[in-house]
Every structure is written in structure tokens, then in C-alpha cells.
Structure 1
Amino acid sequence: MGDLPKGIEVTELHHMSMVQGVLGRNFAPEALVHSYRKSFNGFAVRLTKEEAKRVGGMDGIISMFESKRHKAQTTRSWDFIGFPQQVNRASLESDLIVGVIDYGIWPESHSFKDQGFGPPPRKWKGSCQNFTCNNKIVGAKYFVGHGFPIKDDIGSPRDTDGHGTHCASTAAGLG
């Protein structure tokens, strides 16, 4: 829906009323998956193709797109890119914490061994849920997404398909 309108407070109720205008009596509040209202004006909603066409024709709708799930292309980026196994690391990394939001992490992966790592910065207050942190993985929490169920969800920050482990090891490096 674009920028936030000036002088009008965008609320979830506003988005609900728009969706209800299309769905009518078939409207179930859980159809509205998420209402975006902080940095832009928009919402995520579950619709049939016909309902989506009707929403797309409403005044104020700038663009619409269907959510798509993508599969990981590789879980071995280091080898895929062709980097050597030993790389000189910068001393500046000692106080760096990389945050990754993904489907989980597999702490037993070789990528997350903490050999040679000092403790995390003292100001860090992270913790690990369902496994023990080390000096490389300094926090891991499980969060439920905005109504998009994950196949085979185990209710844990542990990775079940390799994607989160791949992304975290790529972002944070192999150490």
C-alpha cells in the first residue's frame, strides 16, 4: 500500500476492514496474517486467487505478490565459492556479534566449533534455548512466525533442513 499516509494512523483494524470488504461473511480474523504499519503501510493475508484479484483492484493498493518458499541451493558455501580452509582473521572480530534470523542452527556443525574464540563481549546477555551456547554461538531462540507454519516445525532453534546453519556459517564465517 506504500508510504504511511500523513495524518492518518494506520492500524490493524484498517487493514482488517479492507480485507473484510472483499471477504464479507467469509472473513475470519486469522486470514489477516500480519499488519505492517511502522515503516510502510501494508498487510499479509491468506486469499484465494479470486479474492486476491478483488483486493488488487481496491483503491490504495499499489502492489501485491504471492509469498513463495525457496529451497536452499547449497549448505557448503565455503567449498561452493572455492575459499581456502585457512584464512587470516582480523582482530576486530573479537567484539563482533552477528545476528541471523532464519529457520534455525545446528550447533554441532563443524562451522560452529569455538576453538580459538574468546568469550563474547561482557555486555552481551544472550542465551541458547534447547542447547548449550559456546564462544561462537552466543545466543539462539525459537520464535513462531507470523502465521506461516514451517513444515516439520520442532519448536526449537535447532535447524532441521540445513538452511539456517548454512546462512549463519556464511554470515559469521567458519572461524
Structure 2
Amino acid sequence: MDKSVMPWPFSDHVHWYHTTMRSVSKTTDMLYAYNKVMPGFTTRLTIDEVELLKQQKGIVSVQEEQVYQLHTTRSPEFLGLERNDLILPESTSGVDVIVGVLDTGVWPKSKSLDDTGFGPIPSRWKGKCETGTDFNKSSCNRKLIGARSPDDGHGTHCASTAVGSAVTDASEGSDLSQSLHTHTL
């Protein structure tokens, strides 16, 4: 959108975007409004509505959403890096490290949070595992030492990236000897 042509009756850009969108479709909703780097909005329109929108004053361009497919889950191989399995098994750099993840929760049954082979919880850990939304404190173990909610799985993804245990056919690259504390915001 070219903000320099926004008509004077509009007090802000969002109202102008909404009115422009409604001029071509009475049934769609604005998904997002942008005003910083690239002024504009996101919505879902039919092909005919897109053609009508292109004719509206202030429209600079209309771009169709692009859906991209994941090319790899194995970045080192994709980047042509050589693997050296001899270094990390001998390393103790992550032993007794507690990693805190602030996110939407974890799913304790995830294989990457299995505590097989783990020693006791580090003695300096002063936190606790809490009962929360769809989460019983008995779900914690020697790897997942503090948590309270499995809301949407994004926390599981982030936590597994940071300290997840090896899982067959999964992406590798984390230090597997660390304990995890998560806190749901």
C-alpha cells in the first residue's frame, strides 16, 4: 500500500486497509496488517477479488502467498560438513548442565526427553516439577526436571533442539547430556 495516498478521513492505516479490502470482498477478514517496513495487509481473496483489489487506489502490488517445502532435516550433510562421531562421546562439556527453556510447554512422552542413562538430578537444582494443564508432576524424570504444561508442543521442539536425546531417524546436533527445565509462559 502506498501510504502517501491514504485519504484524509482515515485516522490510521489499519482502518484504510480494512476499508480497501472490504471494497472488494464483504466476506473475508484481514489476517495481518503491516505498517513498518512494507505497509499493507494479508487476507484471503478469490482470483476475481484480487483483480478488483489491484485496481484500488493505493495498491502497489498484490502477491500470492508462497508455500515452501523443507529441503532437509540434516543441515550438516546438506552443507557438506563432515561428521566426526568420535569427539562428542568423549566430551563431558554438557554433563551436569541445566538448560532453561521458556516456551509454551513440553510433551513429556517425547522420545527426545527420555532419561535412560541419566544419573541423578543435579544437586544444585532448586526448582520443582509442577502439576499444570494436562500435566502431572510425575511426568518429570531425570532429564525433564521441571515443567508444568504440554500445551502445543513448540516447547518440546525447542527443548529437544537444545538438549534432546538421540531419536532414530531424527535430526541430530544437540548436546545429549544436559538436563532440562522448562517454564510455560
Q: Greater strand share, 1 or 2?
A: 2
TM-score normalised by L of structure 1? 0.49
TM-score normalised by L of structure 2? 0.47
